């Protein structure tokens, strides 16, 4: 049973998540020659204050002045 795990920031609509799950399931089933019913798609939303990139919280980068980011 293939399991696809997507981690992303919150903010997508339920329609976007539904479409993502449908399309990923179709591609996975076709590529791996398995029934769509065997494909699990897990979507985990991680708040920006729980995600760091380059040693800095993404939420801090969102609020930092542009000049400070250029350094």
Q: Convert the pLDDT of each residue in 24-54 to its tens digit.
A: 999 999 999 999 999 999 999 999 999 999 9
Cβ atoms 18, 56 nearer than 8 A: no
What was the pLDDT predicted at 63? 82
CB contact at 8 A, 22 and 16: no
Q: Which CATH architecture has domain 3-70?
A: 2-Layer Sandwich (3.30)
Q: Where are the domains of the chain?
A: 3-70
pLDDT of residue 68: 56
pLDDT at res. 62? 82
Model's pTM, two decimal places? 0.77
What is the model's pLDDT at position 28?
A: 98
**Catalytic sites, residue numbers:** 2
Phi, psi at residue 8, to the nearest 5°? -155, 165
Instruction: Please give the mean pLDDT across all residues of the chain.
Output: 92
């Amino acid at each position: 049973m293939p399991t696809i795990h997507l981690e992303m920031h919150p903010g997508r609509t339920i329609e976007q998540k539904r479409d993502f799950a449908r399309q990923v399931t179709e591609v996975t089933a076709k590529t791996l020659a398995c029934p769509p019913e065997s494909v699990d798609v897990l979507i985990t939303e991680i708040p920006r204050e729980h995600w760091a990139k380059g040693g800095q919280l993404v939420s801090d980068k969102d609020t930092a002045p542009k000049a400070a980011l250029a350094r």
